[in-house]
A = this chain, B = another copy of it.
Amino acid sequence: MVQFNFLCNMGGNTFGKLFSITTFGESHGEGIGVVIDGCPAGLDIDPQKIEQDLQRRRPGQSKVTTSRNEPDSCSILSGTLNNKTTGAPIALWIANTNQQSKDYKHLEHSFRPSHADYSYYAKYGIRDHKGGGRSSARETAARVAAGAIAKMLLDHYKVTIQAYVYAVGSISLNETSAIDYTEIEQNIVRCPNKDIATSMISAIGQIKKAGNTVGGIVKCEITGVPVGLGEPVFDRLNADLAKAMMSINAVKGFELGSGFEATRMMGSEHNDVFEMNEGKIVTKTNYSGGIQGGISNGMPIYFKVAFKPVSTIMQSQSSINTEGENVQLEAKGRHDPCVVPRAVPIVEAMAALTLADHLLRARASKI
């Protein structure tokens, strides 16, 4: 017998102070939704762009992802009039359609290793075991949909966000790799270097065949950011980006600009020297990653996000059930061998939501 000391929940499903989203829904429930509050009125909404990003995230899109096949079409329930935002909250809804809850029946009372099963049960005293319930990465579909609208707002201000796969296991780009942005959506792993993409795809294929999974890194680049976004001392732009990324399922690390490499550098190497370029202040190098003192400095913002290997493997694993007894778990269902190709639009979405929020927070001119 295990003694549980259940704790009450106190919210936590809202992100953003002015451009603010609240997500809801479970993996095998009615669907997944999100309410955006604070989107300025008068913004043109292109529903196709929401669908496009959802397609980039959706399962079943290629052989390197899960074979679950969810169309993930999004309805706009409120907040627009003739495809223009009205200033009212925008609710988006993605109905669930292809759930196979029976795949999870055997997990009702067991805790899968490195999943949220145990910590959710121990916290809430009740757990929706079907597909992970609320802890499922399916929830990120709502973020991608909301992020698509944030991107439309950023687009209006000429801010561009592009993420891509930087590493799959130990197959990785490095600082000198050739980068071709047009390549990203041309290969199923979303790597901007065709040769490395091919290696990644082949590696994922082998790992999948072995019933195993592997981690990876997504890199994100943001250009066109005005100088002055970020609200020190706590709501620094980098701090809010870090929170945004670490709130994504399976993320284990975040680094801005030089990141952990900076810890091995000296000040004389790492300092980004200011100079003029066509009437604008720029820096010669950009180890700062576009953010200094928590505030954007006009240089490109870039950061890396570390994803762990997917916890569901097609191998037998020992575990514990709610009674504290040993159990042996056999995976069923359809799962991703590597999450990073589908994580690319999720990282972009969370970056877009963070930037949109900070854009509104810093929107007015000084006195």
Contact = CB atoms under 8 A, between A and B. Distances in A.
Contacts of A116: 232, 292-295
Given A25-B91, A86-B127, 6 more contacts: A31-B78, A119-B295, A123-B230, A239-B247, A275-B320, A276-B324
A11 B26 contact: no
Contact of A41 (B11, B111, B126): B126
A292 to B, nearest CB: 5
Interface string A10-25: 1111110110101111
A214 interface: yes
Interface string A73-93: 001011101001111111101
Given A114-B288, A170-B264, A362 B7 contact: yes
Nearest to A9: B87
A222 interface: no
Given A114-B272, A317-B273, A9 B41 contact: yes
A257 interface: yes
Interface in A87-121: 87-91, 93, 111, 113-116, 118-120
B239 A246 contact: yes
Contacts of A238: 246
Contact of A227 (B8, B122, B214): B122
Interface in A243-290: 243-247, 249, 252-260, 262-276, 279-281, 283, 287-289
A169 interface: yes
Given A5-B227, A122-B227, A239-B246, A91 B33 contact: yes
Contact of A242 (B125, B234, B242): B242
Given A115-B293, A252-B257, A267 B42 contact: no
Contacts of A298: 122
Interface stretch (A51-59, A61-69, A191-199, A306-314): A306-314
A363 B366 CA distance: 11
Contacts of A40: 8-9, 364, 366-367
A366 B13 contact: no
Given A235-B12, A252-B260, A6 B41 contact: yes
Contacts of A366: 6-8, 40-42, 124-125
A128 interface: yes
A130 to B, nearest CB: 9
A3 interface: yes
A320 to B, nearest CB: 4
A72 interface: no
25 contacts: A6-B365, A7-B229, A9-B40, A10-B361, A11-B38, A22-B89, A24-B77, A113-B272, A113-B274, A118-B297, A122-B228, A122-B298, A124-B366, A134-B233, A215-B263, A215-B265, A243-B243, A252-B257, A253-B263, A265-B309, A267-B311, A270-B311, A273-B318, A276-B326, A287-B308
